[in-house]
Amino acid sequence: MTEKFIKNEQFNFIKKQVALIKDSIKKHVPPTVLNATIGLANAKALELLPHASAEQITLLDLSNLKTEDQFEQYLQQLSAYVIDFPHITEQQLKKMFPKSKKLKLPDLSNLAGNKLTYLGWNDLRTNKKYLVYELDGKLVGIECKMSAIEKNNICSICNGHGEVTYFSTITKSKKANNPDYYKAIGNLICTDSNKCNEKITNVDYLEIFLKESLGIEQTKDRMYYVNEDAFRKNRD
Ligand SMILES: [Zn+2]
């Protein structure tokens, strides 16, 4: 068996493509349209993993599938190749968040096999949300303040629609000429991080947010990671 090679968010992306195809099958679109949809999905799946081996390309290939069942089976098979979240101990987590004296820890007993892009959990006693993610090969964590908002909305991390909370954090980045400069950044995020992990299809925003929070220099253009309006409303 080839080793696990698909990241959770990549698997979700492929899952989304398959959902589109299954939808087209259900709607009985003309065969030419269906074939084009399948072809495009296949190209996108392969594009995600440009360094895939011949064996992996065969596993990813969905161009010869026809029925809904076959697509379902394809996903089932592919899900076995989703890379596990890195092993992490309670000790490591406590070290990661030294300021949280009574850190509420997530359940680490069944991390393997759980499809996770990031590890996220809430502490409802303190209204905090914690995110842990492997950034450039290193596990990093941030602690955010959560403020409940009542409406369902779009999550900035996974772009999915669902129950969200406003989360904000103080960035560690400082301005050279002003050591007292602190900037809070925040946005909407799925309240339930497990649901977020089922929907996330790319890590662009997550990485930008983490880098900004941790004060890691970014070369990319600064993007719209701060929902200023929401922040202001929340703060006032
Ligand atoms: Zn989300």
CA of 73 to the centre of ligand 1 (A): 26
CA neighbor of 203 nearest in space, from 42, 15, 48? 48
CA of 192 to the centre of ligand 1 (A): 8
The pLDDT score that the predictor gives to residue 172 is: 67
The pLDDT score that the predictor gives to residue 214 is: 87
CA of 180 to the centre of ligand 1 (A): 32
Per DSSP, what are the bridge partners of residue 106? none
Six-digit token string for 203: 């890590």
The pLDDT score that the predictor gives to residue 1 is: 61
In tens digits, what is the pLDDT along the chain, a chain of 236 residues? 679 999 999 999 999 999 999 999 999 999 999 999 999 999 999 999 999 999 999 999 999 998 989 999 999 999 999 999 999 999 999 999 988 888 899 988 877 778 999 999 999 999 999 999 999 999 999 999 998 776 899 999 999 999 999 999 887 666 656 666 667 888 999 999 999 999 999 999 999 999 988 887 655 444 333 334 444 444 44
Contact 208, 221 (CB under 8 A): no
Give the C-alpha distances (Å, rounded to integers) separating 5 from 45, 48, 181, 185: 13, 11, 42, 33
The pLDDT score that the predictor gives to residue 76 is: 96
CA dihedral (146, 149, 152, 156) positive or negative = negative
CA of 161 to the centre of ligand 1 (A): 8
Measured distance CA(143)–CA(105) in Å, rounded:
12
The pLDDT score that the predictor gives to residue 113 is: 73
Measured distance CA(126)–CA(147) in Å, rounded:
11
CA of 32 to the centre of ligand 1 (A): 34
CA of 141 to the centre of ligand 1 (A): 17
Per DSSP, what are the bridge partners of residue 164? 190
Where in the chain are the domains? 8-79, 90-235
The pLDDT score that the predictor gives to residue 225 is: 35
The pLDDT score that the predictor gives to residue 191 is: 93
CA of 190 to the centre of ligand 1 (A): 4
Contact 149, 166 (CB under 8 A): yes
CA of 66 to the centre of ligand 1 (A): 31
Strands (E), 29-137: 119-123, 128-135
The 10s digit of each residue's pLDDT in 96-135 is 998 888 889 998 887 777 899 999 999 999 999 999 999 9
Measured distance CA(146)–CA(144) in Å, rounded:
6
CA of 8 to the centre of ligand 1 (A): 13
Beta-carbon contacts of residue 86 (< 8 Å; ≥ 6 apart): 134, 139
Six-digit token string for 228: 């200023």
Instruction: Using the structure block, give the residue that is written with the tokens 């000429």.
Output: 177
CA of 34 to the centre of ligand 1 (A): 30
The pLDDT score that the predictor gives to residue 100 is: 81
The pLDDT score that the predictor gives to residue 231 is: 42
CA of 24 to the centre of ligand 1 (A): 26
